Each structure stands twice: as C-alpha cells, then as structure tokens.
Structure 1
Amino acid sequence: MAKKHALFLLAFLFLMMLINGGKGQGVADNSAYGLVSDGVGEVQQSAFIVFKNWASSDSCDQTYGFLPCTTTVLGNIFLILVYGYLMFIAAKFLSDGSEILLGILGPGIIGGLFLPVLSAFPDAVIILESSTLLTPLSDPRFPMGAIIIHLGYLEAKKQLKVQVSIGMGLLAGSTVMLLTILWGSCIIVGKCDIENSVATDLKDTRGFSLTGSGVSTDIWASYAARIMVISVIPFIIVQISQVLHTTSQARLTVLISLIVSLSLLLSYCLYQVFQPRIQKRRLAYAKHKHLMSGILKHLKSHILGRLFTNNGEPNTEAIKKLFETIDVNSNGYLSVTDIRALIIGIQFDAADLDIDETVKSVMKDFDTTGDSQIDMNEFVRGMSRWLTKAKRSAIHAGSDGSNSLSTRYINDFNLRTREEQDKLEDQNEEEEVESIKNPKWNASKAVAMLLLGTVVAAIFADPLVDAVDNFSTATSIPSFFVSFVVLPFASSSEAVSAMIFASRKKLRTASLTFSEIYGSVTMGNILSLSVFLGLIYFRQLTWDFASEVLIILIVCILMGVFAGTRTTFPLWTSLMAFLLYPLSLVLVYVLDNYLGWS
C-alpha cells in the first residue's frame, strides 16, 4: 500500500511539472519604475500588491508557481479531492512510520514525545498554512502607496479571518468526526454479544440488537477518555473574555490559554513516556487486590459466622475467631511461616504466583510494628481494611441483595479483581510477545516514511487550504463548514486502521481502537490548539469562535464522561454518537446566523 501511495505521489508531481501556465495574479509592470504615479495609472496587471491566497472572482494564485488552481466549483471540488488525498497519504506515511518505529524503540521517549506530535502534525500544518498571508509593505515607486497599503491591509485582515476559520473548521471538525462518525462506526463493526454486562470476544450472534450486542474496552481506554476531557480546559479559558464581555482582556486570555495548552501538551507527552511504568505498578496493585480477594474468599468458606455484621461493617468477633484458627501455635502471633502455610493452602489459580512475594505483601499490609509477626490487633485492623475494600468494590459494581452480605461482597470483589488482573496481564503479554524482524531495515524504512510524510504534508497543506477557500468563495458557503466536513477526512489516517482493528471483535483490539481515538482528540485539542492560539496571539487577531468552541466542549465532555465512566457500550450508543455530528453543524449554523455569535 505504501508503494502504491508513493507511485501516485510521484506521478502527480510529474503531471504538475508538465502543466504550463495557468491563471494567476501578477505584479506591477516594473517598466514604470522611477516614474511618479498615483497608483491607478496605466497598469496592465490586475493588482500591484501581492497577497498570498487573495483571489478575485475571476482569478487565483498558483501555489509555488506551478500547482494548479481554479475559480470554478467543480474544479475546486476536484482539487480538494486530489490535495486531500495527498494529505491523507502524508498522514498515512506518518502513522505507519510511527507504528514501525514504536515497535522497534518501544514506548519510552520516542513513543511518548516524538510520535504523539507526529500523529497531529497534518492537522497542525493545515492550521498553520490557513493563516499565512503576506503583510502588504509600502513601495517607493508609488507616492500614494500609504492609502493603498491601508486599504489593502484591511482587505488582507478580512481575508485572513476567512482563512483562519478554515483552521478552526479543521480543529472542530476533526474532534467531532472522531468522536461521532468514527466512534459510532467502530461500535458497529466491532460489536459482539453482551453477556453479564461484558461483550464476548468473537461471538456475534444477536445481529443488530441495540442492547444485546456492543463493544467492551479495558480500563485504560476509560483513562484515555478522562484525559481527553481534561484537554478541553484551554478552550474554556480562551472563552472567558467573551463570556464576561471584556474585550480589553482578550489577548491576555489567549496568552493564558496558550500557556495552559502547551503545559498540557508537555504533561501528556510525559504521561505517555511514563505510562508503561505506571501500567506495571497498576498490574502489581491488581495482583495484590486479587491476593486479598482470594484470601478473603478462602477464609469465608472455612470459618463459622459471618465476616460482616447486619449493617455491613466488619465483624470484629468473627475476625478474632479467624485469627485463633490460623494461629496453630496458640502463641498470640502469626509468623511468616503461618502466613506461608495459609497461602499455600489456598491454592491460588495463578500459575506464576510468587509465594515469597505474596507473603511479603501480606506481612507489609498487616505488620504495622515491623517485628515480622502479626498480633491480634494488627490482624483485626488489617482484615477490616480488606473487608472494607471488598465492600466498596461490590457496592461500586451495583450488586444485588440475593446473597448474604459476606458472600456477596467477597465474591464480587474476587470477580472484579480477577478480571482487572487478567486484562492488565493480557495487555502486557501481547506487548511483550510482539517483535520486529530486521530492526535496522525497518528503522530506516520508518524514518524514510516519516520524512516523506512530513514533506508531503508541508507541501500540499497550502494548496489544499487555497482550494477550500476558493470553493467557499465560488459557492458562498462559509469556509468553516467546508473545512469542518472535508478536511478531517483528509488528515485523519487513523480512521481506516481504527475500523479494521475494531472489526477483529476482541476486547484487546477494541480497547486499542478507542484509546487511539481518544488520544487523537487529546492531541488535537492541545497541539493543534496551541498552534492556532499562537497564530491568534502573535498576529494580533481576534478570537471570535464561540459557537465552534461550544460544539467542541459539548462533544468532548459528553463523550469523554460517558466513555470514562463505563467499559461496555451497547449498540444503541453508536446512534447517539452519529446524531451528535449533524446536531453540531446545525448548532453552529443557528448560533452564527440567527443568534449572532460570530
């Protein structure tokens, strides 16, 4: 596939070099140099002040002097498709190269800092190109140039605002498209039968049942969704001046939002760097909780009485009797040998259980005095803590009251901790098994793909923005709506791979798919927004995107909170996601055209 894309790119560049001439906007004839002129004399060209991307109704500028442009509707549709596909190829090269490099170098510095930035690079380049306009300068050949320069500057600012809206359209459109169309599509292609509130891998017998089929993810996907919600903070900050109607502090809020956005970008990259280490610690904690639940379940089945009282509190008397049962020497203390005998007698189902580490873990939890033995009071306090954790876990799971409190709390705790440990172990095992053959060759290939993708994105982002702008002018459709609908599909290469991954109908692949979606939105919210805010601040533009920010906040917060608080998504949730896309467009249109937000 990469070879086909490269051949298409070379063929397109060769075709562009064969094209001779085309419509364009010229500069003043320099034969008049040295003569006094009022600026409107016998000038043969259409204008004498050059503004990048400023086209009249009957002319356009060729980007780089050879890439074609047009002022017709169909012509611009064709150019948007061509340049959009080239940007898609660039994004694909960056994505594939990043994955190869990540497989070779691992998820450390490269995976945490370098690759997340590359994933959002196409969007950032398009946003950057959407506001590059030459500032008109005075020309000594024209004595009345000051007046003309002023008029040209006003027109340039107006045109710049139009083109900046293209960047905002991409920023908002990418977020909404990923969390609505792509999110809902992944639910449909990845659906499995839901049994006991969890989607069963590779089992899809219930068709399009809105409640009986769906997708389940692991806890890491939920964490990614919560991080995505945090990433909208800069949007909220930048809107403060408009909410308070204080235009004097507008630039200050833009600067503060820019600083916060860059800080979140750095924090997110550092999180990606240390995430594997965090995951290992979480796995160790999950194993410890499973150890707790296993011991509690074993002790519950071997004692008379209940570990919980009628009001749900730990039963101190039952715990003391349990201590006397374990204390085979009747010396009032539980030694390391006693704890080891207890753990061996439980016969945990984990094949890789380290007995010594397990004994140390239990002693660390119970032996608060550090004398390598557990007395009656330490045992009561430790068991009470464990039972309280089991109770909280069962309540959080929403257990019914069909069984006794002790049985219900402990069984639910055991089930949840086992599932959590299995998910984390499966993820670690699959990451450790994967290996890359011929690492040197693949590393060279990955670097070449990254360089090619970067160059292609940098070259064709500018003509793509021009085509969108010209199409907007030719059709009188606001440039925001054109870029909102079209550009996200050109710069989001993860859409195809996400749906392919989701179609494998496994919890593991579904988790990776949705984590990738949430991660892409997060990077767009902080990296692309940082570029956008930087342009707004340093070019002294006005932030006037209240309606656009509102739809970003609505979609991100709604989907982020929803996905961050659950791990199973029935099929009906895809309909909710799909509905958000047209509602977002309608909301922007109503706010801008009827309520005057823009």
Structure 2
Amino acid sequence: MVTLLNLATEELRCAFQVIGSLPEALILLASGLLNSKETAQECVLTGVGLLAGSTILLLTIVWGTCVIVGSQPFPNQLNSNPSNHREQDLVEKLLSKWPGYGVVTDLETSHTAWIMLASVIPLMMIQIPRIFQLSYLGERIVILITLLVSAIFLVCYFFYQFFEPWIQRRRLLYINHEHLVLDILKHVQNHTMGRLLTDDGSLNVSAIRRLFEETDRDGDKFISFPKLKEFLQEIRSRKLQLDKDSGITDMMKEFDIDNDKKITEDEFVNGMTKLLDETKDAMNKRYHSNKSLKDLYQVLKPWIEKKREERGTLKILIPKILEHLQSSVYGSLFTEDGTPDISAIKRLFKDIDQDKDDTVSYDELRDLMNNIKRGILPFDVDAAASKIMEELDKSGDRVIDEEEFVTGLSKWLNTTYNPTRGSEKSEDDDYQKTWDQIDELIENKFTDKSTLAWTKAITLVMLGIVMLGLLAEPLIDSVHNLSKTASVSSFLIAFIFVPLATNARIAISLISEAHKKKQNVTSLTFSEIYGTVFVNNILGLAVLLSLIYFRGLSWNFSAEVWMVLVVSAIMGCLASFRTVFPVWTLFLAYLLYPMSLVLVHVLGHFD
C-alpha cells in the first residue's frame, strides 16, 4: 500500500509540474478547436505569441532580474561555496574575477539547463520543411514526426524524473525549502527536551553544547561528515530524504566556517544560531507557508510569545503616546485633509531632540515618557522608552534620526486614526498578516483536515482548468479587438502583454527566492526557470503541431518558432557551460527580449 501511495505521489508531482504550463497550452488549444478552420488559423497565431512570450519572458526579463536581486560579491561566494566539484575553465575564472557582483549556481543547475537545451531539438526539426522547401506531403510528414518526438520527449522527461528523481527533489526543495531548516530545528528541539530557546527567545547555548557532546560520541571535540550524516538521518518529522550526500554536504558548509571538514563546538553553536536567526527573519518577512506556522510555533514558542507580548504592549502604548502628543502641548499632527502633517512631525522631532544633534536618543525618549502624566502611561518608563526605540530605530544604531521619526510616526498616525487610508501593500502589511495568523493559530483556529485539503486542492485545480478553457476564446477575441483598435499585430499583443498576466505568480516567486541571496536557493530558482521553459516549449509545440496536423491548418509559424529556438539555445548554452554569472550578463538577457521581436520582423519577410 505504501509503495502504491509513493508511486501515486511521484506521478502527481510530475503532473502538477505540467499544470504550470497549462494556461498557455490550453489557450492555444481552445483557440484552435473552438473556431472555424479559417478563424482558427488566425487565432492560433495569437496562441503562438503567448507561448513564445512566456518562454522568452522567463529566459530574459525574469532571468536577468534574478541575477540582479541575487547578486553578491564573487570572492565571498566562490570561497564560501566550493560546490561545483570541478576545475573552473579559463572563461569562468575570468568571469569570476570581473569587478562587482554576480551569482554562482551549482552543477545540478547546469544539468537542468542541459535538459532545457534539449527542447531546442524539436524546434529545429520543425524548420526542416522551410529550409529544404519540402512539398506539402513532406511537410505533413515532418510535422507528424516532430509531434511524435515532442510527445516522446515529454513522456521521457516524466519517466526520467520517476526513475532518477533528482530533478523532482530539487523542485520540491525549491517549493519547500523552508522545511529543511525547520525540520532540523524541530529535531534539535526534541533532543534538547523542548529547550531550544530560553524564556527570552534567544538560543539556549548550554543545551546546544550538550547536544554537540551527544553527537560527538567519540569525544574528539569535532563533528565529522559521518557524524553529521548520522545526526541528520535521524530526522523523520517530514520524512526528509537527502539526495545521496548532497543535502548533508550543504549543511556541512553552513556550519564548517573554516572549511576544514570538521565542525567544532563553537561552529556548531554559531551554525545553530544562524539557522535560528534566518528562521525568525524568514517568518517576519512571510517566507514561510501557513502550514509551517504551526511547526514554527512549536519550535519558536518563547520568542513568538515574547513578540506577541511586545505587539500587545505597543497596541496600548502607541495610542497613549499619540494622545499625549496630540494635546495642546504640541498641537495637531494632522493636516486639514486628515493626512499626517510632516512639518508638524518635524517640529515635534526638534522639540524632543534636546541636545540638537539631529537624533533622538534613549535618554530623550525617556524624558518624553516622563512628561506623559502618571496614570495615562500604563507601563514602566524605561520599558516604554525601550519599546519605542526598538520600534522606530530601523537602522539599529540606538538613536532615531529625523527620517526614521517622521516615517514611524506617520505610520502610527495612519494605522491608529486612519486605518483605511492607503491601499499599498507594504512589508509591514505582510508582517502584520503573519502575526495575525500566529494569533489565530494560538487560539486554535487552524484545523488539520488533510483529506479535505486534498479534495479542495484537486477541485480548485479542475475548476481552474475548466474556467481557463471557457475563458480562452474571449481572451483571444479581446486580444484581436485590441489589435485592431491599436493597429498592432495580435501576435505582438499576445507576446508582450498576456504573458505578464499568466506568468506573474511564478515570476514574483522566482524573484523573491533569488532575493534571499543564498547559493542553494539561487540555484534552485534558476533550475525552476529552466524546468518551466522545457515543459513550456515541449508541451506548447506538441499542442501547436497537433492542431496543425489534425485540423489541416497551414504552417506559417517558422519565424515565431525561430525566435523561441534562438533565445532558448543562447540562454541554454550559457547556463549549461557556466556556473558563474556576473551581474553584467543581465544585459545580454535583457537585450535578447527586443532582439527576439526584431528577429520575428526580419524572418517574417521570408515566411
């Protein structure tokens, strides 16, 4: 029974990867099936534009943006992440010494790029009829052969993932990267008898040192690779499967600062502190999923309770302070239209800044707290001053400059007196949403209904597919109407604008992951791009050729396919042979986007 469930799970994982490329393929399919033969010929061109636009958007704009946001100084990356397991060639050495920043990926990412590069083969095959000027019959034969090759590629990709699931494991690691560190912390929590953190939310160093001694069973004062492997293989909370020794190697690098293949006691403590700090920061920035919040609460309970207490304190403290500042002593802090009065806030800042050094210190905040009438402020003066300093001092230098004061006070005024003002979503909104969900968790409003969750997820997927099929034709019609109104080719409309909508979710997710600036996460991000492009190219071409062959449509898409072929080949070769990408490579990626349009225009005259 377990084996059958595992097989079903692997099949579902492979199937759900295709779902990411379904919108473009379904729109193309619907445009070709729901219209007459003459209309379908024109509609399919729009669908081809969407397919081509999605691939090129991912390989140019999104790829280049990920290079920007994920860039770090090369010396730090190359020295701290010696994961390529091979000698760098001359070109890579030159690239790595290029002044400035860039990203470094691992070898598995290059292997994924090789697989993406294979999607160019059927794209080249379909060009044979035009290159050799084949007859109509010859063209139909080549279309059928290319269709079969595309289908074989797609099936082989699934079976390859099934029997050699390293791609799928990397994909799952990309989707659930948070689980690795969380499982380790949960494991440590169990080994320390629930005392991973002290009452104030900091790491329980003495408990971690005892754990080090337990792991170091031979008493040689360090943890070697085999010891770390044994330690990590005890993790069963999420049935984490490490890909051979790669996961252990990555974790070894996290702890082994001096790269001597040994983890000392101090390195073990520092590594655990780093993992804990990253987890806290990721939760504050809402990198964790809702489900993981339940596990986070179990691991970080003292810290979360402390943060909740601080939030409760601020909810009471801030209105009291604003009420005092709004009194006749300082005057109104609002303009006539109800917005924060920046000039008045700056005057208030200068009043509080008694030594006129253009900053507000802790002592000056304490004096302000003392000025508030006794009984109005329900907290100790020192505690209140500390809370306000922590809330307003964003730079962490223990003083509040004018910009920090104006920004913080304006936010307080808006959230306290104008809670509906402003619709922009900020980092503070995400922070607030995260802590609201933690409040719900603690109040037991989260329920675990795994069967219901599966049913709901599958139902929503099927509903989405049906809706997409029904809305595909109106979308194509809207593109055509916009094309006629603007006197622009429907292909260009579908190529430029529609992919922005269909790929917005994955693009935002990829860029957010790259922004974490960690080599393993960055590598997974680029692997996700290459895997998505492979499925998009093969599935899209298979759907296109099916419509051409079975509906008897004419093949008039050589220029568009050439465009996808060239961009996929250039970026595929670049990513297959290189693991070092200086920040200037983004200009190559960005330049390919407009160049692809020029290529279509030029080749269109020969079609």
Q: TM-score, normalization: structure 2?
A: 0.50
The reply on whether 1:584 has 2:593 as its aligned counterpart is: no
Distance 1:123 1:539, change over 3 A: same
- Tell me the distance in 2 between the aligned counterparts of 1:489 and 1:279: 26
Distance 1:163 1:560, change over 3 A: same
Which segment is superposed worse, 177-186 or 545-554? 545-554
Give the secondary-structure state (helix, strand or coil) at the position aligned to 2:516: coil
Tell me by how many angstroms 1:245 deviates: 0.5
- Tell me the distance in 2 between the aligned counterparts of 1:543 and 1:558: 25
Equivalent residue for 1:229?
117
Equivalent residue for 1:450?
461
Pairing of 1:219-298 with structure 2 (within 5 A): 219-247=107-135, 248-276=137-165
* 8 Å CA contact retained: 2:27, 2:473: yes
Equivalent residue for 2:305?
none
Equivalent residue for 2:529?
517
* 8 Å CA contact retained: 2:119, 2:537: yes
Q: TM-score, normalization: structure 1?
A: 0.50
- Tell me the distance in 2 between the aligned counterparts of 1:199 and 1:452: 49
Tell me by how many angstroms 1:109 deviates: 1.8
Equivalent residue for 1:462?
473
The structure with higher relative contact order (CA 8 Å, sep 6+) is 2
Tell me by how many angstroms 1:449 deviates: 2.9
Give the secondary-structure state (helix, strand or coil) at the position aligned to 2:150: helix
Which segment is superposed worse, 440-449 or 529-538? 440-449
Distance 1:105 1:485, change over 3 A: farther
Tell me by how many angstroms 1:257 deviates: 0.5
- Tell me the distance in 2 between the aligned counterparts of 1:562 and 1:444: 42
Tell me by how many angstroms 1:195 deviates: 1.2
Give the secondary-structure state (helix, strand or coil) at the position aligned to 2:74: strand
Equivalent residue for 1:169?
49
- Matching residue's letter, 1:587: L
Equivalent residue for 2:72?
192
Deviations 1:419-466 (A, max 9, x none): xxxxxxx9xxx9xx9987733343234223313322321222221111
Tell me by how many angstroms 1:478 deviates: 1.5
* 8 Å CA contact retained: 2:106, 2:523: yes
Q: Which of 407, 432, 451 is equivalent to 1:440?
A: 451
Equivalent residue for 1:597?
606
Equivalent residue for 2:227?
351
* 8 Å CA contact retained: 1:221, 1:511: yes
Q: Which of 13, 29, 32 is equivalent to 1:131?
A: 32
- Matching residue's letter, 2:227: A
* 8 Å CA contact retained: 2:106, 2:520: yes
| Structure with max Cα Rg | 1
Deviations 1:568-595 (A, max 9, x none): 2111111110010001111111222xxx
- Matching residue's letter, 2:116: M
Stretches of structure 2 lacking an aligned partner (at least 5 in a row): 1-5, 82-96, 170-219, 231-258, 263-274, 280-287, 295-447
Give the secondary-structure state (helix, strand or coil) at the position aligned to 1:543: coil
Tell me by how many angstroms 1:244 deviates: 0.2
Tell me by how many angstroms 1:200 deviates: 6.2
Equivalent residue for 2:356?
none
* 8 Å CA contact retained: 2:161, 2:168: no
Distance 1:509 1:485, change over 3 A: same
- Tell me the distance in 1 between the aligned counterparts of 2:108 and 2:456: 30
Matched residue pairs, number?
A: 332
Equivalent residue for 1:388?
none
Distance 1:512 1:467, change over 3 A: same
- Matching residue's letter, 1:597: F
- Matching residue's letter, 1:269: F
- Tell me the distance in 1 between the aligned counterparts of 2:7 and 2:453: 11
Q: Which of 478, 490, 497 is equivalent to 1:486?
A: 497
Q: Which of 61, 73, 86 is equivalent to 1:181?
A: 61
Tell me by how many angstroms 1:353 deviates: 6.2
Q: Which of 539, 552, 561 is equivalent to 1:527?
A: 539
Give the secondary-structure state (helix, strand or coil) at the position aligned to 1:246: coil
- Tell me the distance in 2 between the aligned counterparts of 1:199 and 1:447: 45
- Tell me the distance in 1 between the aligned counterparts of 2:473 and 2:167: 41
* 8 Å CA contact retained: 1:234, 1:257: yes
Give the secondary-structure state (helix, strand or coil) at the position aligned to 1:259: helix
Give the secondary-structure state (helix, strand or coil) at the position aligned to 1:519: helix
Equivalent residue for 1:110?
12
Equivalent residue for 1:555?
567
Distance 1:353 1:168, change over 3 A: closer
Distance 1:199 1:559, change over 3 A: farther
* 8 Å CA contact retained: 1:129, 1:465: no
- Tell me the distance in 2 between the aligned counterparts of 1:117 and 1:194: 35
* 8 Å CA contact retained: 2:69, 2:511: yes
* 8 Å CA contact retained: 2:112, 2:167: no
* 8 Å CA contact retained: 1:130, 1:465: yes
Pairing of 1:14-163 with structure 2 (within 5 A): 108-112=10-14, 114-135=15-36, 157=38, 159-163=39-43
- Tell me the distance in 2 between the aligned counterparts of 1:441 and 1:115: 19
The reply on whether 1:495 has 2:384 as its aligned counterpart is: no
Tell me by how many angstroms 1:211 deviates: 3.9
Give the secondary-structure state (helix, strand or coil) at the position aligned to 1:131: helix
Give the secondary-structure state (helix, strand or coil) at the position aligned to 2:497: helix
- Tell me the distance in 1 between the aligned counterparts of 2:166 and 2:484: 52
- Tell me the distance in 2 between the aligned counterparts of 1:480 and 1:106: 39
Give the secondary-structure state (helix, strand or coil) at the position aligned to 1:351: helix
Give the secondary-structure state (helix, strand or coil) at the position aligned to 2:33: coil
The reply on whether 1:543 has 2:555 as its aligned counterpart is: yes
Distance 1:453 1:347, change over 3 A: closer
